[in-house]
Amino acid sequence: MSRRNKLEKFAQLRTFPHVYENFDVKAPQLYRQGEAVHMQGRWHEHFGNEHPIALELACGRGEYTVGLARRFPQRNFIGVDIKGARIWKGARIALEEGLNNAAFLRTRIELIDHFFAPGEVAEIWITFPDPFLRKSKANRRLTAPLFLERYHRILAANGWVHLKTDEPLLYEFTLEVLAHNPHFSLQYCDNDIYSKPLPLPELALKTYYEHMHLEAGKTIKYVRMQRKGG
């Protein structure tokens, strides 16, 4: 993608009413349409309803966020990613289709608990994230203990975290983390979800990259964990 194309997309994002951006990791301030806004504890005001809020972390082009918003109009979805040029595609589609239950947040996921209040989020989806295969980068995996601590702070009691991946290392790593985690309990896992009836209708959604993984003969793995109550 050319620099000019990226800059055009960044400029368009700043005109979208359903896109919020954080430009400085050292200053967790959000902006919408060029104006500073405070959204922690106020996301229901954006959606204009009290429907449950789900996040898709590392949403990329927002395919899952948009797909979930289409299928479940009584739920609200926020796609989160640092790459504005990627978010642009999903945000544009949501705008064109009038999906008022879809929004996007451009930020580093390490800051996620700065932008949501305790208990504000009902569930989190992590779909095909970077597995960071090097052991030295294990703490950057989105199911690493430090990330689970952040999710614990913003999830409602008994809220869910879903991981969908093609990477065996990330799947096994997540199960190992959960075996010793004080904040979450493992509720379901499957190392080949399409070999049997799906446990959730949301899992039927397939992203561009998931289609590629399946064509390459990879199996899709799924983990569902639940925040411990209280």
Pick from 70-74, 94-98, 129-133, 206-210: least confident: 206-210
Written as six digits, the tokens of 197 are 């009836």
Written as six digits, the tokens of 60 are 């990329």
Assign residue 44 the CATH number of its domain: 3.40.50.150
Which pLDDT score is estimated for 151?
A: 98
pTM greater than the 0.85 cutoff? yes
Q: Which residues does the annotation mark as catalytic?
A: 130
**Nearest CA among 127, 129, 131, 103 for reference residue 115:** 103
State the residue range of the domain holding 134.
3-227
pLDDT (tens digit, 9 = 90+) per residue, 164-200?
999 999 999 999 999 999 999 999 999 999 999 999 9
Tell me how many domains the chain contains: 1
Is residue 230's pLDDT more than 80? Answer: no
- CA dist 96 → 10, 16, 59, 119, 197 (Å): 17, 11, 19, 31, 33
Residue 129 dihedral angles phi and psi, to the nearest 5°: -75, 165
What is d(CA 229, CA 199) in angstroms, rounded to the nearest whole number?
23
pLDDT (tens digit, 9 = 90+) per residue, 14-64?
999 999 999 988 889 999 999 999 999 999 999 999 999 999 999 999 999
